[in-house]
Amino acid sequence: MRLLVTGGCGFIGSNFIYHILDAYPDDVVVNLDKLTYAGNLANMQRAENEHGGKRYHFARGDIANFEFVSYLLKEQAIDAVVNFAAESHVDRSIADCSPFLQTNVLGTQNLLEASRRAGIGRFVQVSTDEVYGTLGPEGKFTEDTPLAPNSPYSASKAAADLFVRAYVETYGLPALITRCSNNYGPYQFPEKLIALMYLRASEDQTLPVYGDGKNVRDWIYVADHCRGVDLALRRGRTGAVYNFGGNAELPNIDVVRTILSILGKPESLIRFVADRPGHDRRYAMDYRLAQKELGFEPEYDFTRGIRETVAWYRANGDWLRGVQDGSYLEFMDKWYGGRL
């Protein structure tokens, strides 16, 4: 299969491309990435070294650029598109949501339109549990849970999902949607909870925990998510939505304490800071449809996943230092301000 993977220089996209290159010796991957602050060419160095110009091709560009996307789809004889490209951080969407509309909504619609005109055989939209809003103490999100996004980020992802649905219904585009819970693992940008807490704890800096620290996320190791997207790509039904979760519901404070304990750092580094506006209380995924139709099962429990994640960050200090450029420090300073 010849795949166009968008956002392949980001966290999940780069893990996904390695999964494909390692698991399918006949597949070819074209990685379309704009290289925003979250996109890092260094993530794909091994792919370039081992498969560059043969099974792996990089194209810098914007999913919202119709001419360029159309050219790539034709020139590279693409069979299927997997769309990871997005603005992905809730806090940044609260600070300024315009890039979220531009990429997540307009960019996705553009990719759908170019794929439709090129006659693409499979389109996978990588979405999130956050489109369902928030849960109380009981229950889980199913694929039938109504969309009720609470942040500008999740609103933009929900809008994109609705465009995918419209392209299936109106034009018969062979598209489907995957919705996943919170990922963690190698190459995650140190703005999301686990990567940020590792970075700060390892440097003996304070750890900003929003509100009472009891918001719950359902953590999935990134390799499990990538296998799920791959299963949906190869076995999924057109028009379907598939939830993926990690069976690891944890309050944020427990996650932070676990990282401190692995690193042997004191809990006195924790700072409870002003809550995120519109902060969803709890996410949990019912992924029985993906079990039944795709044979999906997460393989990592949280204990194993977090140990491997910390080990990866420890072994990749250069990567972690490399991504903390001026724009990163500027955002951190502006967002957390006096809260740290």
Neighbours of 267 (CB within 10 A): 11
**Residues 93-132 close enough to bind ligand NAD by CB under 6 A:** 103, 107, 126, 128
Task: Tell me: does residue 183 bind ligand NAD (CB under 6 A).
Answer: yes
Q: Is 124 helix (H, G, I), strand (E, B) or coil?
A: strand
State the minimum distance, in angstroms, from the CB of residue 315 to ligand NAD: 19
Interface residue with ligand NAD among 18, 56, 58, 84 (CB under 6 A) is 84
Quick one: 193 or 222, whose CB is closer to ligand TYD? 193
CB 9 within 8 A of CB 33: yes
Chosen from ligand NAD, ligand TYD, none, partner binding at 208 (C-beta under 5 to 8 Å by type): ligand TYD
Chosen from ligand NAD, ligand TYD, none, partner binding at 57 (C-beta under 5 to 8 Å by type): none
CB 218 within 8 A of CB 183: no
Report which of 169, 215, 202, 174 is spatially closest to residue 311, judged by C-alpha positions: 202
Quick one: 172 exposed, middle or buried, by C-beta within 10 A (0-12, 13-18, 19+)? Answer: exposed
State the minimum distance, in angstroms, from the CB of residue 251 to ligand NAD: 17
Count of residues that bind ligand NAD according to CB under 6 A: 30
Interface residue with ligand NAD among 6, 93, 151, 215 (CB under 6 A) is 6
d(CA 81, CA 62): 14
Chosen from ligand NAD, ligand TYD, none, partner binding at 218 (C-beta under 5 to 8 Å by type): none
d(CA 202, CA 259): 9
Taking contact as CB under 6 A, which single stretch among the options 18-26, 72-80, 140-148, 180-188 is the one that binds ligand NAD?
180-188
